[in-house]
Amino acid sequence: MPDSSANPRKVIPIVASANPGPAELPADADEVMVSLYQAQKKIYPRSVSGLFSQWRWVMVWITQLVFYGIPWLQWGERQAVLFDLGARRFYIFNLVLYPQDFIYLTGILVISAYSLFLFTAVAGRLWCGYACPQTVYTEMFLWLEKLAEGDRSARMRRDEGPWSFDKISRKFAKHFMWLTLAFWTGLTFVGYFTPIHQLAGELLALQMTSWEAFWTIFYGFATYGNAGFMREQVCKYMCPYARFQSAMFDKDTLIVTYDAERGENRGPRARKADPKALGLGDCVDCSLCVQVCPTGIDIRNGLQYECIGCGACADVCDTVMDKMGYARGLVRYSTEHAVKEHWSRGDIIRHVFRPRVMIYSAILALIVVGMAVSLILRSPFKVDVVRDRGSLARIAEGGNIENVYRLQIMNATEATQRFKISATGLPGLAVASEEAVTIESTQSRWVPVRLQVPYGSSAGGSHPIEFVVDDLDSGERVVEKAVFLVPR
């Protein structure tokens, strides 16, 4: 048995290694360096064009036109979409929501979650590759980077070279464009919570409130950091979705996949050479699929959790196949079953409609319909009843027994509403205070209400009653339960 004490080797943990590769130790070294964190090699994704790249840019345009454009839309006298946290009102086009409408936010979150499950079961990380803000902003920042510093090889060369005027001015231009875009993104984000016309005026006059300035800078720097520097690290180490997505995958889920049966043995060859005669498959081992990958992985190693399904490797491999005169699709969107069983496109589409997908679709459709119906049937006003804790029950003038309540009436429309308050549930029960109430548009008001019953008309104790609030203009009615106390 080797005697370990004869050559005690000291293990020195270090926080980060400057050299990402394995440490080379002299033969007589008696210390082993163990890195607790793998230093990351900077990834320089090569730009790529092709079908999937075009789709990603379509999604960049759609998502960003919506994000940057919506706060500038007007709806009558106000901003079309505004989450006014101070006034506790959320305006979404013609909808005015109160915090009590939280159920709709829950509904939107549930719909988003089920949509994600459904799309992931069908087409893998479609969201990650095309619509996730991290992907979209990274794409935009990469475009600006290319504009200032050129494509991959130029950027790598410049980064390795000494600091020159050209290098400094290009870096400055890049960071200036990044910061401008990031700051504009932060301002737009805040514009969903503060009317953006007002915000733009405050910005020009340098009169933003401290909270507005804080959130603009915070969101702007988060965008700058995530899209400019952290990039694939966010997908690999921070995003929880990458971790649990495999639970939603099955063998019929569309993934970006390398057809190893067709591609191997990989190796370079002349364009006119016969690969079969050389014992080669269709992969020419050009490594372009690795160079374009935003997460720096090699799709030829199989499905990896780092793969965001962006299709960049499929696009670039198709261009290589075109140049070589081979059929496209060595790297393609396909399913595990399809690659193994050599399925046609029709077979793949047929397998989309499998039980799991049908169940997700049915649940999603039910929730969407339920939420739509609930929104359509939503009452244009809300009523909350609170008993006046100061007085439980008392004998009023004229000998009637009186209970006092406070009704919060919330006008959920943008027109003034007139209401009539009444109550039922006990013989002789009547409203002794003002029955008619007017509430201005989108306002809510606490209304004190006194109810009375004739003395002796009801037994002592607690009696269930109902408040009835009628909208005199629309005819809508809201009924709220309450209790009336009669002293024993």
The residues binding ligand SF4 (CB under 6 A) are: 256, 258, 263, 266, 283-289, 292-295, 297, 299-300, 307-313, 316-317, 320, 330-331
Cis preceding-peptide flag for 265 (omega within 30 of 0)? yes
Residue count of the chain: 488
- The Cα 267–Cα 288 span in angstroms is 13
- The Cα 224–Cα 217 span in angstroms is 10
Site of tokens 């953006």: 196
CB of 285 to ligand SF4, least distance (A): 5
Helix, strand, coil proportions of the chain in percent (round to 5)?
45, 20, 35
CB of 250 to ligand SF4, least distance (A): 19
CB of 342 to ligand SF4, least distance (A): 19
Contact 400, 432 (CB under 8 A): yes
Task: Look up residue 294 and give its two tokens.
Answer: 């935003």
Q: Which bin fits 342, alpha (ψ -120 to 50), beta or left (φ > 0)?
A: left
Nearer of residues 202 and 285 to ligand SF4, judged by Cβ: 285
CB of 235 to ligand SF4, least distance (A): 8
Measure CA 264 to chain center. 39
Contact 414, 76 (CB under 8 A): yes
- β-pairing, 331-334 vs 95-97, is unpaired
Written as one letter, the residue type at 213 is A
Nearer of residues 188 and 295 to ligand SF4, judged by Cβ: 295
Nearer of residues 190 and 317 to ligand SF4, judged by Cβ: 317
Nearer of residues 195 and 296 to ligand SF4, judged by Cβ: 296
Nearer of residues 126 and 320 to ligand SF4, judged by Cβ: 320
Rounded to the nearest 10 degrees, the angle between the axes of helix 51-69 and helix 165-190 is 50
CB of 138 to ligand SF4, least distance (A): 11
Nearer of residues 225 and 267 to ligand SF4, judged by Cβ: 267
CB of 59 to ligand SF4, least distance (A): 14
CB of 298 to ligand SF4, least distance (A): 8
Query: If we measure between CA atoms, which residue out of 434, 366, 357, 446 comes closest to residue 410?
Result: 446
Which runs of E-coded beta strand occur in 81-156?
81-84, 89-92, 95-97
Nearer of residues 88 and 323 to ligand SF4, judged by Cβ: 323
* Torsion angle (degrees, nearest 10) of CA 474, 475, 481, 486: 120
CB of 58 to ligand SF4, least distance (A): 17
Nearer of residues 48 and 409 to ligand SF4, judged by Cβ: 48
